């Protein structure tokens, strides 16, 4: 069923899905931590908007609560906490020189194509156009992992982890019109606790190896010395 | 009824094990006894003296070995009843998996091996108390030794009773684990620890291949009990796979050549009475497992199997005795000679397999009977020799032949018994070793009836090697007896030692020696009982055995071959007494005069001028040189300005087993190399770990779409 | 009656053994153009030794004193088993050829122990070398027995001889090889020249003599007698198995006489052959005995293979 | 059904109470009391299931059947015995100054939090709640790994957190796809995530979606089980955290992750019909078994050695569940019980051994039997049990796995033969010098409560000899549930 026959709301959802995919792409290319956190905040806000839109399209009331939850949690609270952390850790000035941004970008596009290829059988399942947003959500998840693999900064890892959570939440909202309420709350609670723990860990890592560079964490290796 | 005694022997062994745990619990037992027996004053006093500090150790030690003795006696009774009645008793115990309880089966074959366990156990229980006193004030508590001995004996007996794969392997590995703890009993020496580790490693690999062999049968029969295995028909390919796995599994435990390296390490490490049990009985339980698998569970045998068993047996026999000769440590020598005797047993089994596969049922039965008889004989004289070695170790604290000598004057009774052991193991006529070896030769001599020319030419060569082995065995044990017991003592300890004080340490080996002579002189009754075993196992017997009366043995037929050990013994005794009469009594009773030995006039003969055991076996080392891994060097320490005169000459000789170089080290190196290569994936960098999980996901997704 | 005849035959056997030794001595001296002692000199030596007082070394144990009796009795028992002049005697059923090898092994075992009992280098060296020679000789001997057993399908000596008698004069390559092999083994086992020199007392060369160096008096007499009987046993074995013609099949006086006569002639011929070989050959170095005996084994192996390949119809 | 709710409430109250208790000795005892209550509740629940068969709570949130009832009792029991061990152990650690009072409080609260997560995973019927509980378990233990604040423990905790976080995220994506596939089926609209409902309509679920979902779930929960390509966090987390934590981590968490994967496999098998899910699990299982076995030879730290042994055993269990034949499934269920009992007992003895020798390095721990026979013999018997020697239970399951593999996939058996042999060699080569030999100077026996070890080894010995009737038919029913046939 072509995009043209869709109602405006569904078209809006597709647009927002594309925007979310764009934000995870942008995150791949960022070298400054502060901007990375900012883009993550934008992604959170976009996600909450899509949840709100989906709520009134499918008129399921509990989606409004989860939209609000996502906005407050992933849109505002976590980005601010990360920002304050980066600033008082003094990391906002140093620039992480990405080794080969071009290759990472190409890998990102390859991932996008791959996840679409994988989700093909799902999409053909039913005429619902919104289904191919599942491919987008899988792409966001895989891009989040790629971000964690390519960056050396611990904060970047946290942001990558959170963007994976966003991708999952997006998939839940889009494909199944929201998980049951109990599960929503549970996931939100877990993400919150994870964020708090990340903060705690930054101080521990800082005190143990006085830098947040992940590659220096390799005392526990068994390779033949 | 026979099953009752079988259970009694297992329970007695377990109780002796548990009783051993009470070695250092004297005070609690004392309090318990006094409180319980308050009302009967007589018993009360008795308990007082039993649990008193001085006597407790003695009573406790004796009670352990009395329980083992009870287990041995009831084992002998059980086997006697089962063999004479020829009945098969089956039962199930409420242990094991919910749908597969432990199945028990006590038939003639298990009964025969029960007889072996029983006899050796009685001897060990007589020998034990005297020998174990030495360990009391040692570092290792007696409770560990007693507990695991009880478990070890119970494990062996349960293996013989098992009638389903699950219970068999449980009992099998119970036997291996408990003997591991016994080998590692004196674990302060690093060599004992290494021996124990190698022993358990080989036991594990052996057990797994046995499980897989049963797995093949279970795969096709759907169940795990031996009755289901017996009814299943296997294709030749699968039957051969099962046979090879069983040969590897049981061969590894029995000590066939490629897998024998653990045996000479483990047996000397264990206390002597345990090495007697291990060498005499545990190896036979492995042979029992092999016989049960090939002749009972597999319905059809092929001649290729027989050939493999024959070749492995011959290799084990000749290599075993060649390595035995090169050992200085007495217990290592006896362990290697066990490898030789196991080789001989597998030669007999190989012949039996070949004859069965070509339809000669009677000759096959002769082969099995020869193998079973050699199992019994070897159990008897090998335990006798190990107990003898233990007695020597107990009195002189010497294990190496280089420091022994002249023991015949200081320990006359023990040397007499040891001599009977040496004579039987060298397969000399009136003794039991000769009868089983003679039967094996008779089986080999019947190759005329086979059709394929190749086997007909291979079997004589194998039996020629067997003849070489028995001659080498005679040479080896002349060396052992000559160096250890005869001539002049080579060290202070040996010179000052005295006869074995504890009576039990003489009665035990003497008990075995009596049986060695008894089965040597009257083998026919034994072969008749073996007929019962083969009748149940393969359905055919040897009718002609006592054709010439019960004094004679004529395995195949009256005119083919016959041998009457009793008449041979009678002939020797008559001639000896005749010579004694004629040359001593009639010719003036000339007493022999004692004088100095002939020393070519130089004078001053001392112990160092005697032939040591290394010297004695030097010709064999030079002749069979490629078989050994010899490291022979002469270190010369020069002195003086330009190194003219030599300060000191040191001759260094070390003969080691080639199987270490060709079999064991390569395997160990490859495993360590592989693990070093694999450990590269644990790099320690979190981003590589994330990459692993990322690519696993991608590959799987790509795989399923 | 048969048992009495068997006893008589044994007595005849052990009585005539010294004569054979004497005859061998005479042949060797004649070949080396020396004056030979009389045929009955061995008897005089034995009687002298039997009456002398044995001297025993201090460290010697009861084994040293018991060994002469055991060695002699095993040898006498072996002699009683081998059909000398008549076949199917009752004693023949008591043991077969393999048991025969066992008897030799028993005698040798005790002799080697006695050698080591004194605790001097000679005894140890003699026992060690004796054991080496015997362990290399036994496979060859057994292979010869095998060849015999495969064709006669029995290991009982009298049955084998009856089989060879019944089948008449048949030229079997396997029997030829077996006989040659058995001859070489016989020389090694009885300690004759190429392998060991019975007359020498040179420390480094003697094998059999080294073990009985310490013996004296009646012990030495018994052992000398036993070795003479052993020499005759090997002679009789070779002669009666491969050329049994003339041996008595029933117990009539005439056939026994013919049997004794034919045996005497054959033994004389064989002893001449042995004397000739001893004069020609010199004693080999100890570690050359290994090639000698493996050659003997090769011969008997060829015998067995030729039996399988040539003599059996497939 | 009250027992189930009680079971869940006890840890919650425990967490609240323990967060207020300051004195560490008292906290230890209270922790043990709570675990005793939890064990009582689980036994009561077990009796209910024994009498009335599978129980589905009226709000369909909790579902207890023959598969998870014995796991619940096992979790409660191991939790109790480990808490008995952890009381004196942590007090001793506090005396050594390695842990402060505040962190002990955190330790005990998180202990109860972890137990709550475990019970929730086992009892819940809703796949989403199961995911949340699994994530909760990770969060609870991450702080415990870095309790000692050494650089290594912080690094181990960080890796544990990130790797498991990413893994669990993939599992969530799998659950979402599961939910999506369930929604397609018109029959189930509102309660699409309930396992019982999904199990009934398994054949109606779309195979394409289900296979993708299973891949995500297997990789997600596989990270928690420690299957090889995803196992890297496990050795670090086990060796750096406090010993009681590694005992319950390897005893319970791995079991529950495998439980979750098997629940998903049942659904996928229903919908796909072919053996694809089984093949995947067999592949992962065999790979982790062989690789972990090779790692054993190179370990220098005693706790890392036993964590690799856990990976090896989990690999064997995944392989057995992958085969799917009744024998293999029965073996895997039985192996879960015996492995967690033996492994937690071993970790307890290892904890005491490392305290005795004041180090975790293998070459520095010597002569345990001579110094303190209880610890020495405990460690030796434990290693003999975990290496799979008969009188102990682990042997029975390894035996059945070998027989089942020979029955269905004979060409795999040489690999198993090699693996078990190398595993035994690696384990014993390290343990034997530690246990035997003379006492190094200055090594004094310590106050050690070996009761938990004796109970565990005793139970494993009893299980090895004869499996009690009620447990036997639970296993049979669970095997029937999973593989469709009874193991006769």
In a domain? residue B694: yes
Q: Does residue B64 lie in a domain region?
A: no
User: CB-based contact (8 Å) between B566 and chain C?
Assistant: no
CA end-to-end span of chain C, whole Å?
Answer: 45
In a domain, A171, yes or no: yes
Identify the sign of the CA torsion D340, D346, D349, D355.
negative
- Structure tokens that stand for D151 in this block: 């650089």
Q: How many domains does chain A have?
A: 1
Query: In the prediction, which pLDDT does D321 show?
Result: 92
Lowest mean pLDDT among B387-391, C172-176, C266-270, C275-279: C172-176
* Residue A127 pLDDT > 70: no
The predicted-structure confidence for C102-148, as pLDDT tens digits, reads as follows 999 999 999 999 999 888 888 889 999 999 999 999 889 988 988 88
Q: Please calculate the CA angle B110-B116-B122 and round it to the nearest 5 degrees.
A: 130
3-state secondary structure of B654: strand
> Which residues of A are less than 8 Å from B691 in CB distance?
149
Q: What are phi and psi of B637, to 5 degrees?
A: -100, 105
ipTM of the complex: 0.86
Q: Enumerate the residues of chain B whose CB falls inside 8 A of the CB of residue C80.
A: 571
Question: Which pLDDT score, from 0 to 100, does residue D94 have?
Answer: 85
Give the DSSP H/E element, type plus range, for residue B630. Answer: strand B629-638
Q: What is the rounded average pLDDT of the residues B222-226?
A: 85
Q: Which pTM does this prediction carry?
A: 0.89
Closest CA to B109 of B586, B565, B536, B636: B536
pLDDT at residue B513, rounded to an integer: 93
Using the Cβ of D391 and the Cβ atoms of chain B, whether some distance falls under 8 Å is answered with yes
CB contact under 8 A, A221 and B683: yes
Q: Is C118 helix (H, G, I), strand (E, B) or coil?
A: coil
Checking if the pLDDT of D37 tops 70, the result is: yes
User: In this complex, how many residue pairs, one in chain B and one in chain D, have their CB atoms less than 8 Å apart?
Assistant: 167
CB D319 within 8 A of CB D285: yes
Please give the Cα distance from B625 to B512 (Å, whole number).
Answer: 36
Start-to-end C-alpha separation, chain D: 33
Statement: residue C194 has pLDDT above 70: yes
pLDDT digits (tens, 9 = 90+) for D339-350: 999 999 999 999
Query: B with C: how many residue pairs have Cβ under 8 Å apart?
Result: 265
pLDDT at D288: 93
CB contact (8 A) between residue B478 and residue C304: no
What pLDDT, on a 0 to 100 scale, did the predictor assign at position B332? 93
Angle, vertex CA C190, rays to CA C187 and CA C193, nearest 5: 55
Phi and psi at residue D361, in whole multiples of 5°? Answer: -80, 135
Provide the pLDDT for residue D309: 93
Chain D residue with CA closest to A168: the answer is: D173
Radius of gyration from C-alpha coordinates of chain D: 21
The answer as to whether A73 is a domain residue is yes
Average pLDDT across chain D, whole number: 87
pLDDT, tens digit (0-9, with 9 covering 90-100), for A154-202: 888 888 988 998 888 888 887 776 667 777 777 787 788 888 888 888 8
- List the 18-47 stretch of C: residues with Cβ below 8 A of B: none
Q: What pLDDT is stored for residue B138 in this prediction?
A: 66
pLDDT exceeds 70 at position A149: yes
- Indicate whether A62 pLDDT > 80: no
If one counts every other C-beta atom within 10 angstroms of the C-beta of residue B234, the result is 21
Beta strands in A142-181 (DSSP E): none
Q: Which of B481, B548, B575 minimises the CB distance to C77?
A: B575
**B463 in C contact zone (CB under 8 Å):** yes
pLDDT number for residue A218:
73
pLDDT at B406: 87
Q: Decide if pLDDT at C150 tops 70.
A: yes
Mean model confidence pLDDT for chain B: 87
Overall number of domains in chain B: 2
The answer, for B237 touching chain D at a CB cutoff of 8 Å, is no
Q: Does residue A98 fall inside a structural domain?
A: no
Please enumerate in sequence order all residues whose Cβ is within 8 A of that of D48, keeping only pairs 6 or more positions apart, or say none. Answer: D3, D55, D64
Nearest to B405 by CA among B513, B302, B482, B514: B482
Asked if A180 lies within 8 A of D159 by C-beta distance, the reply is: no
Predicted confidence (pLDDT) per residue in C130-141, tens digit: 999 999 998 899
The pLDDT confidence band at residue C228, using thresholds 50, 70 and 90, is very high
Contacting partners of chain B (3+ CB pairs under 8 A): A, C, D
CA B338 to chain centre: 6
pLDDT digits (tens, 9 = 90+) for B63-107: 888 889 999 999 999 999 998 888 888 888 888 777 778 889 998
Question: The domain containing residue B652 runs over which residues?
Answer: 617-637+646-656
Residue corresponding to tokens 């930054």: A202
> Is A103 contained in some domain?
no
Tell if the CB–CB gap between D216 and B704 is shorter than 8 Å. no
Tell me the chain C residues in contact with residue B620 when contact means C-beta distances shorter than 8 Å.
Answer: 132, 135
Give the domain extent around A175: 3-93+113-212
The answer to which of B234-243, B467-476, D58-67 has the lowest mean pLDDT is: D58-67
pLDDT, tens only, B656-705: 888 888 888 898 899 999 988 888 888 878 888 889 989 999 999 888 87
C257 near C167, Cβ under 8 Å? no
In tens, the pLDDT along D124-143 reads: 888 888 888 998 898 888 88
Q: Any chain C CB within 8 A of the CB of B589?
A: no
pLDDT at residue B74 in the model: 92
What is the pLDDT, as a whole number, of residue B421?
93
Q: Give CA–CA dist B466/B461, Å, rounded.
A: 9
C122, C124, C222 member nearest B579 (Cβ): C222
Does B518 score more than 80 pLDDT? yes
C106 or B584, greater pLDDT: C106
| Mean pLDDT of the D50-64 span | 80
Which chain A residues contact residue B683 at CB under 8 A? Answer: 218, 221, 223
pLDDT tens column, D213-230 = 999 999 999 999 989 888
pLDDT in tens, D433-486: 888 878 888 777 777 788 888 999 999 988 888 888 888 888 888 888 888 777
Domain residue ranges in chain C: 2-311
Residue-wise DSSP of A10-25 = HHHHHHHHHHHHHHHH
Which of D60, D152, D155, D291 to mutate against chain A (most A CBs within 10 Å)?
D155
pLDDT, residue A130, reads 61
What pLDDT does D126 receive?
86
Find the mean pLDDT for residues C295-309.
84
- As a whole number, the mean pLDDT across chain A is 80
């Amino acid at each position: 069923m072509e995009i043209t026959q869709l109602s405006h709301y569904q078209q809006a959802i597709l647009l927002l899905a594309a925007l979310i995919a764009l934000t995870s792409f942008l995150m791949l290319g960022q070298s400054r931590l502060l901007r990375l956190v900012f883009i993550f905040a934008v992604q959170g806000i976009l996600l909450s908007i899509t949840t709100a839109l989906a709520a009134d399209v499918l008129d399921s009331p509990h989606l409004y609560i989860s939209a609000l939850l996502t906005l407050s949690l992933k849109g505002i609270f976590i980005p601010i906490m990360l920002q304050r952390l980066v600033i008082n850790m003094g990391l906002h000035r140093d620039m992480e020189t990405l080794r080969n941004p071009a290759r990472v970008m190409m890998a990102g596009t390859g991932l996008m194509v791959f996840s679409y290829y994988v989700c093909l059988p799902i999409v053909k399942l039913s005429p619902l156009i919104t289904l191919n947003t599942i491919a987008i959500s899988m792409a966001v998840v895989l891009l989040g992992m790629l971000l964690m693999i390519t960056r050396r900064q611990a904060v970047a890892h946290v942001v990558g982890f959170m963007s994976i959570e966003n991708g999952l939440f997006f998939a839940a909202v889009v494909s199944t019109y929201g998980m049951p309420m109990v599960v929503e709350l549970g996931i939100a609670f877990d993400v919150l606790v994870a964020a708090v723990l990340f903060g705690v860990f930054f101080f521990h890592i800082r005190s143990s190896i006085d830098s947040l560079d992940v590659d220096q964490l390799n005392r526990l290796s068994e390779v033949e010395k | 009824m026979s099953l009752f005694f079988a259970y009694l022997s297992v329970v007695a062994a377990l109780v002796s094990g548990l009783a051993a745990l009470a070695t250092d619990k004297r005070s609690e037992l004392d309090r318990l006894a006094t409180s319980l027996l308050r009302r009967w004053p007589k018993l009360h006093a008795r308990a007082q003296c039993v649990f008193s500090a001085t006597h407790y150790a003695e009573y406790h030690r004796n009670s352990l070995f009395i329980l083992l003795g009870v287990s041995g006696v009831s084992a002998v009774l059980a086997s006697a009843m089962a063999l004479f009645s020829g009945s098969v008793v089956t039962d199930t115990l409420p242990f094991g998996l919910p749908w597969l309880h432990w199945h028990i089966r006590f038939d003639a074959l298990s009964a025969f091996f029960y007889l072996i366990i029983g006899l050796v156990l009685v001897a060990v229980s007589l020998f034990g108390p005297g020998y174990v006193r030495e360990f009391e004030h040692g570092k290792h508590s007696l409770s560990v030794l007693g507990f695991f001995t009880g478990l070890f004996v119970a494990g062996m007996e349960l293996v013989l009773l098992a009638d389903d794969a699950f219970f068999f392997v449980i009992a099998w590995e119970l036997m291996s684990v408990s003997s591991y703890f016994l080998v590692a009993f004196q674990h302060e020496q690093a060599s004992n620890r290494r021996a124990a580790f190698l022993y358990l490693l080989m036991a594990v690999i052996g057990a797994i291949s046995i499980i897989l062999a049963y797995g093949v049968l279970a795969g096709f029969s759907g169940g795990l009990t031996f009755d289901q295995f017996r009814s299943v028909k296997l294709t030749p390919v699968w039957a051969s796979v099962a046979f090879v796995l069983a040969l590897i599994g049981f061969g590894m435990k029995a000590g066939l050549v490629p897998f024998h390296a653990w045996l000479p390490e483990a047996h000397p490490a264990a206390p002597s009475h345990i090495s007697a049990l291990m060498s005499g009985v545990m190896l036979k339980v492995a042979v029992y497992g092999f016989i049960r698998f090939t002749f009972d569970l597999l319905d059809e045998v092929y001649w290729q199997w027989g050939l493999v068993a024959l070749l492995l047996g011959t290799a084990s026999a000749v290599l075993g005795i060649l390595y035995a000769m090169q050992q200085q440590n007495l217990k290592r020598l006896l362990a290697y000679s066990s490898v030789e005797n196991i080789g001989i047993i597998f030669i007999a089994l190989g012949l039996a397999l070949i004859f069965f596969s070509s339809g000669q049922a009677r000759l096959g039965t002769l082969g099995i009977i020869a193998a079973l008889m050699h199992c019994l004989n070897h159990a008897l004289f090998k335990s006798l020799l190990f107990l003898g070695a233990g007695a020597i170790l107990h009195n002189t604290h010497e294990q190496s032949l280089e420091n022994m000598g002249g023991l015949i004057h200081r320990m006359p009774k023990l040397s007499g018994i040891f001599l009977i052991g040496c004579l039987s193991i060298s397969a000399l006529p009136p003794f039991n070793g000769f009868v089983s070896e003679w039967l094996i030769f008779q089986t080999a001599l019947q190759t005329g009836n086979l059709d394929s020319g190749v086997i007909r030419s291979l079997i004589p060569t194998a039996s020629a090697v067997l003849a070489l082995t028995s001659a080498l065995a005679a040479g080896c044990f002349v060396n052992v007896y000559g160096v250890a017991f005869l001539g002049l003592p080579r060290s202070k300890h040996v010179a000052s030692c005295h006869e074995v004080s504890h009576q039990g340490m003489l009665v035990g080996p003497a008990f075995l020696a009596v049986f060695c002579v008894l089965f040597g002189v009257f083998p026919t009754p034994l072969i008749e009982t073996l007929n019962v075993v083969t009748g149940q196992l393969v359905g055919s017997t040897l009718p002609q055995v006592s054709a010439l009366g019960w004094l004679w043995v004529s395995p195949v037929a009256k005119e083919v071959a016959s041998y009457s050990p009793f008449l041979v013994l009678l002939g020797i005794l008559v001639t000896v007494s005749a010579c004694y009469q004629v040359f001593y009594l009639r010719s003036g009773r000339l007493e022999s005069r004692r004088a100095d030995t002939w020393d070519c006039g130089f004078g001053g003969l001392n112990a160092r001028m005697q032939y040591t055991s290394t010297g004695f076996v030097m010709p064999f080392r030079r002749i069979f040189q490629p078989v050994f891994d010899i490291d022979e060097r002469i270190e010369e320490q020069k002195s003086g300005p330009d190194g003219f005169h030599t300060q000191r000459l040191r001759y260094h000789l070390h003969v080691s087993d080639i199987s270490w170089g060709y079999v064991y080290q390569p395997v160990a190196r490859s495993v360590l190399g592989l693990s070093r290569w694999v450990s590269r994936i644990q790099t320690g960098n979190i981003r590589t770990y994330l990459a692993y999980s990322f690519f696993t996901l991608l590959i799987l997704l790509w795989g399923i779409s | 009656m048969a048992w009495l005849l068997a006893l008589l035959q044994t007595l005849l056997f052990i009585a005539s053994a010294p004569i054979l030794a004497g005859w061998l001595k005479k042949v060797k001296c004649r070949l080396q153009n020396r004056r030979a002692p009389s045929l009955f000199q061995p008897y005089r030596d034995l009687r002298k030794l039997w009456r002398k007082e044995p001297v025993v070394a201090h460290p010697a144990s009861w084994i040293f004193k018991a060994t002469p009796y055991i060695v002699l009795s095993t040898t006498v028992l072996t002699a009683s088993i081998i059909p000398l002049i008549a076949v199917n005697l009752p004693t023949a059923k008591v043991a077969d050829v393999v048991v025969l090898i066992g008897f030799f092994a028993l005698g040798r075992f005790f002799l080697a122990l006695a050698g080591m009992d004194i605790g001097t280098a000679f005894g140890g060296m003699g026992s060690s070398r004796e054991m080496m020679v015997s362990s290399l000789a036994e496979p060859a001997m057994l292979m010869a027995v095998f060849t015999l057993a495969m064709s006669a399908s029995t290991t009982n000596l009298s049955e084998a001889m009856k089989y060879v008698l019944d089948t008449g004069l048949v030229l079997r390559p396997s029997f030829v090889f077996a006989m040659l092999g058995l001859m070489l083994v016989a020389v090694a086992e009885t300690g004759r020249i190429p392998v060991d020199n019975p007359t020498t007392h040179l420390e480094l060369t003697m094998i059999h003599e080294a073990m009985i160096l310490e013996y004296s008096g009646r012990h030495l007499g018994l052992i000398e007698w036993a070795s003479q009987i052993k020499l005759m046993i090997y002679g009789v074995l070779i002669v009666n198995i491969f050329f049994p013609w003339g041996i008595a099949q029933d117990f009539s006086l005439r056939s026994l006489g013919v049997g004794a006569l034919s045996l005497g002639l054959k033994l004389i011929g064989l002893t001449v052959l042995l004397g000739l070989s001893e004069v020609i050959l010199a004693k080999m170095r100890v570690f050359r005995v290994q090639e000698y005996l493996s050659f003997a084994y090769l011969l008997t192996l060829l015998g067995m293979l030729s039996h399988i390949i040539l003599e059996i119809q497939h | 059904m009250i027992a189930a709710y009680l079971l869940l409430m006890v840890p919650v109250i425990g967490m609240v109470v323990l967060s207020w208790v300051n004195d560490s000795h008292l906290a230890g005892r209270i922790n043990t009391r709570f675990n005793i209550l939890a064990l009582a509740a689980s036994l009561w629940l077990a009796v209910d299931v024994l009498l009335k068969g599978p129980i589905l709570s009226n709000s369909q949130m909790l579902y207890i059947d023959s598969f998870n009832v014995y796991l619940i009792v096992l979790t409660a029991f191991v939790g109790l015995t480990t808490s008995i061990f952890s009381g004196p152990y942590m007090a001793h650690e506090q005396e050594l100054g390695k842990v402060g009072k505040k962190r002990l409080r955190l330790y005990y609260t998180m202990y109860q939090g972890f137990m709550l997560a475990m019970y929730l995973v086992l009892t819940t019927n809703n796949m989403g709640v199961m995911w949340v509980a699994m994530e909760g378990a990770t969060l609870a233990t991450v702080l415990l790994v870095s309790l000692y604040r050494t650089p290594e423990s912080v690094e181990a905790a960080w890796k544990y957190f990130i790797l498991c976080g990413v893994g669990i995220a993939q599992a969530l994506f799998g659950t979402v796809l599961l939910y999506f596939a369930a929604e397609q089926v018109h029959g189930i609209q509102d309660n699409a995530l309930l396992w019982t409902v999904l199990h009934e309509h398994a054949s109606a679920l779309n195979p394409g979606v289900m296979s993708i979902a299973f891949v995500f779930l297997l990789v997600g929960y596989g990270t928690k089980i420690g299957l090889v390509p995803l196992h890297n966090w496990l050795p670090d987390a086990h060796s750096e955290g406090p010993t009681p934590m590694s005992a319950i981590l390897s005893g319970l968490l791995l079991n529950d992750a495998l439980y979750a994967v098997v629940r998903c496999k049942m659904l996928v098998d229903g919908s796909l019909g072919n053996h694809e899910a089984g093949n995947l699990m067999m592949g992962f299982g065999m790979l982790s078994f062989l690789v972990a076995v090779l790692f054993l030879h190179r370990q220098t730290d005693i706790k890392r050695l036993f964590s690799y042994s856990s990976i090896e055993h989990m690999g064997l269990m995944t392989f057995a569940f992958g085969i799917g034949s009744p024998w293999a499934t029965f073996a895997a269920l039985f192996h879960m019980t015996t492995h967690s009992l033996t492994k937690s007992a071993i970790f307890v003895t290892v904890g005491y051994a490392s305290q005795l020798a004041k180090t975790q390095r293998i070459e520095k721990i010597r002569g345990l039997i001579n110094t303190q026979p209880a610890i020495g013999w405990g460690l030796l018997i434990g290693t003999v049990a975990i290496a799979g020697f008969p009188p102990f239970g682990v042997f029975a399951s390894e035996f059945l796995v070998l027989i089942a593999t020979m029955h269905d996939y004979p060409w795999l058996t040489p690999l198993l033969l090699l693996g078990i042999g190398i595993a035994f060699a690696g384990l014993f080569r390290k343990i034997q010098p530690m246990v035997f030999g003379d006492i190094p100077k200055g090594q004094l026996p310590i106050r050690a409560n070996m009761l938990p070890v004796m109970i565990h080894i005793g139970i494993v010995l009893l299980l090895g000899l004869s499996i009690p009737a009620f447990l036997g038919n639970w296993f049979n029913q669970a095997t029937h549930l999973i593989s469709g046939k009874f193991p006769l």
